[in-house]
Amino acid sequence: MDSPSILHESPIAREETLESDVQWSRIIELELVRHPGYKRPEAVLLDYEMPDGVLRLKVRAAQAGYLLRLWSVDCSPDHRLKGPEFALWLRDSLALYGATNAHLAPGYEAPKAAKK
């Protein structure tokens, strides 16, 4: 946006309303736990203030994949990602179901279609 301008008394189109933006309006709950392969589990619990071992986050679906990538959260179902950057693991990857940017989350795999 090089030179934005305010549109005075411009009607808001239906597709521009908050209600129409499903990904922005939808809140999903993520449960992050320490990654089983992380070398210093006690440090993770202290760093993220997780006395019960779980960090519960409520995020907008539109931001979930970006947040999980930024935080380097292993979102693989079997916590297979290795490395010191993966201190956290997403306990239930199905929490991302329907988030259009879930593919950005490290290790995320879309659920397999049910066999008939």
User: Is 37 domain-assigned?
Assistant: yes
* pLDDT for position 82: 96
Residue 109 lies in a domain: no
Whether residue 9 lies inside any domain: the answer is no
Mean pLDDT of 64-85: 97
Is 66 inside any structural domain? yes
Domains contained in the chain, number: 1
The confidence band for 115, taking pLDDT boundaries of 50, 70 and 90, is low
Q: Quick check: is 7 in a domain?
A: no
Q: Residue 43 phi/psi, 5° resolution?
A: -65, -40
Residue 111 counted as domain residue: no
H helical segments located in 10-115: 22-25, 41-47, 61-70
Range of the domain at 64: 22-104
Least confident among 16-20, 55-59, 81-85, 102-106: 16-20
Task: Please check whether residue 43 lies inside any domain of the structure.
Answer: yes
Does residue 15 form part of some domain? no
Verdict on whether the full-model pTM lies above 0.85? no
